[in-house]
Copies of this chain bind each other. A is one copy, B any other.
């Protein structure tokens, strides 16, 4: 919608407004130099995206995502992205298959060089690209929503040492399934991958 919506969303995701922060309309008005009506619209929108909660007459706060809900998010993503992986296996063109393999190669290089930011970026790109290739617009939309909600936790998880060496072979399995046109394998690999994210979150619970 408005440019302001993107900016606020970005600042929430980057941790500028930590979870639990109250979003006071007047403060945001002067921060972004727009009227309150605009701020109001962005808050309603981000509320629908699940990034903020908006109680009547009590204003909006940045959503705090309990570990339990982060686990649910990972489960829902497993279900939806598994579906996407299956369809991507059936629909990917030759060029797209090569592109996915190239991303995997870049990820291997990033792991070798211990370049965590690059790996994280490639990770996001791989998931997004598979969604696009699947052609599943609804799934892509819902997954983007879920990714927003879980961004904070995923960010922390990615920093855990040794995490990338666990997830890399799982990603490779997903891409192998898609390249081979084996929808069952691709879906299973994707669900495995996100199940491993889920169990890592459970460990983190303590």
| Chain multiplicity (copies) | 2
Pick from B1, B47, B48, B72: contact of A136, CB below 8 A.
Answer: B72
User: Is A138 interfacial (CB 8 A cutoff)?
Assistant: yes
Roughly how many angstroms separate A139 CA and B72 CA in the complex, as a whole number? 8
Whether B137 pairs with A76 at a CB distance below 8 angstroms is: no
Decide: B80 and A136 in contact? CB cutoff 8 A.
no
Q: How far is the CB of A21 from chain B (nearest CB, A)?
A: 21
Q: Let me know if A142 and B45 touch, CB within 8 A.
A: no
Q: Is A4 an interface residue (CB 8 A)?
A: no
Report the bound CA distance from A79 to B190 in whole Å. Answer: 13
Q: Does A41 contact B (CB under 8 A)?
A: yes
Q: Which residues of A (30-53) have their CB < 8 Å from a CB of B?
A: 37, 40-41, 44-45, 47-50
Q: Which residues of B contact A45 (CB under 8 A)?
A: 44, 48
B1 near A56: Cβ-Cβ < 8 Å: yes
A64 to B41, CA, bound (A): 24
Q: Closest CB of chain B to A94's CB: distance in Å? A: 24
In the assembled complex, the Cα of A82 lies from the Cα of B82 at a distance in Å of 12
Per the bound structure, the CA–CA distance linking A87 and B175 in Å amounts to: 28
**A73: Cβ under 8 A from any B Cβ:** yes
B146 touches A138 (CB 8 A): yes
